[in-house]
Amino acid sequence: MSRRNKQKKHQTNPWTFALELGFFAGLIWGAIRWLLYWLRFTKVVPGFLGEPFFRHDFLVTAPGHLAGYLIFIAFSMIAALIYVLIFRKLRGPWPGILYGILWWSLLFLAGARMFLMMPPFRLPWNTVTSEFCIFLLWGMFIGYTAAIEFTDERNREQKTKLA
């Protein structure tokens, strides 16, 4: 059997791929969120997703930051699973960018009020901008990685480089 036939037969399991993708999305972008908090670009604590489950006093401590980081990783795994199962055949970075903006809107606009995660519309502009950009890039990471894995995006990029 030729190498090309073996490559065509290989099918990626969407479940395991989504969980792995979400883990790394949460690991990378959760660390960047924590760095932005530490550098004071954002006032939203790293564990804001744990706000409905933990006291805010706990979330501003070092163990609270770690708990928030782990919650963000779990959240990213769930979000990547949703994306891969529903939108994995969409091409390019734009669906992922829109997915990240959707999650930012759900968490910061709707979720802030429903789950009392943070005071809505009282955040400084640098916080709003930083969080928006992080979620935009986080969504693009999930979406574009899924597009490269489940479409022929990789082949299209190689043809563009050669041209």
For the chain, the structural domain boundaries read 14-153
**117/47 Cα distance (integer angstroms):** 10
| Segment 39-89, tens digit of pLDDT | 999 988 898 888 888 888 999 999 999 999 999 999 999 999 999 999 988
**84/118 Cα distance (integer angstroms):** 29
> Is residue 43 within 8 Å of residue 123, measured between CB atoms?
yes
**96/83 Cα distance (integer angstroms):** 8
Q: For position 133, what pLDDT does the model report?
A: 95
Q: Which residues of 121-133 are buried (b: 16+ CB within 10 A; e: fewer)?
A: eebeeebbebbee
Longest dimension (CA), the chain: 63
**Sequence-ordered list of residues with C-beta below 8 angstroms from that of 74, at least 6 positions apart, any chain:** 26
| Segment 95-147, tens digit of pLDDT | 999 999 999 998 888 766 665 566 556 788 899 899 999 999 999 999 999 99
Question: Does the pLDDT of residue 27 top 90, yes or no?
Answer: yes
Q: For position 75, what pLDDT does the model report?
A: 97
**129/127 Cα distance (integer angstroms):** 5
Q: For position 94, what pLDDT does the model report?
A: 94
